[in-house]
Structure 1
Amino acid sequence: MSPTAARTPTADAPAEGQASPAVAPGLAAALEQYLAHLAVERGLSTNTLAAYRRDLQRYAEHLTATGRTDPGEVAEADVTGYVRVLRSGEDGRAALSASSAARAVVAVRGWHRFWLLEGVVGADAARDVRPPAQPRRLPKAIPVEDVERLLDAAGRGDGPAALRDRALLELLYATGARISEAVGLDVDDLDTTPGRAAVRLHGKGGKTRVVPVGSFAAEAVEAYLVRARPALAGAGRGTPALLLNLRGGRLSRQSAWAALRQAAERAGLAGTAHLSPHTLRHSFATHLLAGGADVRVVQELLGHASVTTTQVYTLVTPDTLREVYAGAHPRAL
């Protein structure tokens, strides 16, 4: 690596919109153009854009260090070499897991495809580069009985916070919402009409979807709206947010995590440290499919762009294999 391109793993990242001194000007300009495209044309969220910036900044620094200063100079060997660097940490940074490296490669492939579509290059050097293979893992879900214990524990205690926490966790499990979608809800996003309760969730990429809300969750939210939210709202300056903190503002993701952890501890659930709001999303999908729901219906409910993402929940567990075998084979027992 040349002296001008060298960076230590602890070096501060450049401010957004500013080129790193380790990136050639031509690549830095191309990076800002692509990020602007992602923000304006594709409407990606701030967090997603920040992830793209981190991944592509590292790629641009790698290209510069290997003598590539312009998109037209990049060859397929440069891209495959970068994949190796991601997994080995040869550039002095932390080596990435297969899943993290795969995410970075997807970002790189998108950038190269953009160059081709914009006429910057004549061929896509990353077209045939595949992300590192990664093991297929079953999403972590908890049994229905543990979910019920968790939800019961969330409603324990006095004051409006207990009603709010019960409403939050009931909504997460009833709708499969991401935590960002749940805390981003406004009162007007919810319809608690008996028999047809539903919620409008604002998902990734500005996409919205309407998801039915079960009776238990609808009752918990109604109790919160009537008996708790007015008291919480009185401490603030007025907000349309559905879920409020003790100061009357919108509940944060961190506070929602804390509410889940506290409920899990009160419920005495094992593995509390590994429990997250996403666990309820996984449980929502797993329990629906176990109950006979069609995978494409679950896809719509989860807001997945592709059914391939949802199909991970259909993987058969070893326990299920044993149960089916024991019950179906004439000489299993």
Structure 2
Amino acid sequence: MEYLQIEKNASPYTVKYYLNDLETFFSFLNGEGIDQLNQPDQRTVRVFLTSLYNKQLSRRSVSRKISSLKSFYKFLERENMVLANPFMNITLPKKDKPIPGFLYKEELEKLFEVNDLSDPLGQRNQAILETLYGTGIRVSECEQLNIRDIDFSIGTLFVTGKGRKERYVPFGNFAEKALESYINDGRNKLLSKGKNSAESVFLNARGGALTARGIRLILNKMVEKAALTVHVHPHKLRHTFATHLLNEGADLRSVQELLGHENLSSTQIYTHVTKDHLREVYMNSHPRAHN
């Protein structure tokens, strides 16, 4: 745990999943009568993989478990606790690549109209919505935003992402107005209800810092008010941010920077385009699309 937290800068979620994966493996080893970490070999690993597939786990889950255990055995090798890594030559199963869901502009319009902007919580909810869609930041990054991270003079957020990687993300007029309105009015009213002076941008009804779970619940309530039949979670707003940028002609590298992706391959899942956009591009671009 110390190695993951301190040396690898892993998030609490990553540490939690790694430990769960280790417990699954240790439970399997106990069932096989193996009680030493240097005993498993490639045959043991193959039997383990078969047991995972028998549980009908998705390729994504199996892939993550292999990755966790490969990393764990690398750590054991470094600490001279084992001589070889039995997971070293195990190839990760190809992941299913579902196309990320996104919202159409008409659906977004309905969401932006549901909040009462004269109410502190309404102002907060509008600011959350405008921030998530206007910047594409993750819900964990939104949860961690502090007042000092917002620079209204140049219109940027200072964001700490996965692996504590830092980046600046610009925001536009709508997010700026919503944030200013909330920070100058609603947030002060919420702050007066709390005992401590919270630094967090987004506060709950008691004046404390709003959690990621709280942000998800707020979005769900907005969806109910807008009478939308689609499921909207914070990540769907991130998907929508990326899809809309690419559909309007933004280049992939810029979107990669905005999203805080380490690898371009992570951003490439957004290169799907809507049928309407595809038709529009064709009609406007192909020499023989019109008479």
What is the TM-score normalised by the length of structure 1?
Answer: 0.80
Mean Cα displacement is larger for which, 312-321 or 46-55? 312-321
Matched, 1:227 2:185: yes
1:202 equivalent in structure 2? 160
Matched, 1:44 2:10: yes
- Map 1:65-76; keep pairs closer than 5 Å: 65-76=31-42
1:185 equivalent in structure 2? 145
Mean Cα displacement is larger for which, 275-284 or 61-70? 61-70
Contact 2:112 2:129 in 1 (8 A): yes
| Structure 2 CA distance for aligned equivalents of residues 96 and 323 of structure 1 | 40
Partner-residue secondary structure (3-state), 1:74: coil
1:31 equivalent in structure 2? none
Contact 2:117 2:126 in 1 (8 A): no
Cα–Cα, structure 1 residues 224 and 317, in superposed 2: closer, same or farther, change >3 Å? closer
Partner-residue secondary structure (3-state), 1:228: helix
Matched, 1:291 2:248: yes
Partner-residue secondary structure (3-state), 1:210: strand
1:142 equivalent in structure 2? 103
Q: Which one of 118, 123, 148 corresponds to residue 163 of structure 1?
A: 123
Matched, 1:212 2:212: no
| Structure 2 CA distance for aligned equivalents of residues 332 and 296 of structure 1 | 33
Q: CA offset at residue 262 of structure 1?
A: 1.9
| Structure 2 CA distance for aligned equivalents of residues 71 and 178 of structure 1 | 37
Cα–Cα, structure 1 residues 81 and 321, in superposed 2: closer, same or farther, change >3 Å? farther
Q: 5+ unaligned residues in a row in structure 2: which ranges?
A: none
**Counterpart residue identity of residue 300, structure 1:** E
Mean Cα displacement is larger for which, 68-77 or 49-58? 68-77
Partner-residue secondary structure (3-state), 2:13: helix
Deviations 1:166-198 (A, max 9, x none): 0011000111111121122111111112xx211
Q: CA offset at residue 330 of structure 1?
A: 4.7
Q: 5+ unaligned residues in a row in structure 1: which ranges?
A: 1-34, 90-94
2:216 equivalent in structure 1? 257
What is the TM-score normalised by the length of structure 2?
Answer: 0.91
| Structure 1 CA distance for aligned equivalents of residues 265 and 101 of structure 2 | 18
Alignment identity in percent?
A: 35
Aligned residues: 289
| Structure 2 CA distance for aligned equivalents of residues 45 and 134 of structure 1 | 22
Cα RMSD for the two superposed structures: 2.3
Q: CA offset at residue 322 of structure 1?
A: 6.2
Cα–Cα, structure 1 residues 234 and 316, in superposed 2: closer, same or farther, change >3 Å? closer
Contact 1:174 1:217 in 2 (8 A): yes
| Structure 1 CA distance for aligned equivalents of residues 89 and 277 of structure 2 | 38
| Structure 1 CA distance for aligned equivalents of residues 280 and 59 of structure 2 | 32
Mean Cα displacement is larger for which, 72-81 or 274-283? 72-81
**Counterpart residue identity of residue 62, structure 2:** A
| Structure 1 CA distance for aligned equivalents of residues 273 and 212 of structure 2 | 32
Contact 2:29 2:35 in 1 (8 A): yes
Q: CA offset at residue 74 of structure 1?
A: 1.5
User: Greater RCO between the two (CA within 8 Å, min separation 6)?
Assistant: 2
2:62 equivalent in structure 1? 101
Mean Cα displacement is larger for which, 279-288 or 196-205? 196-205
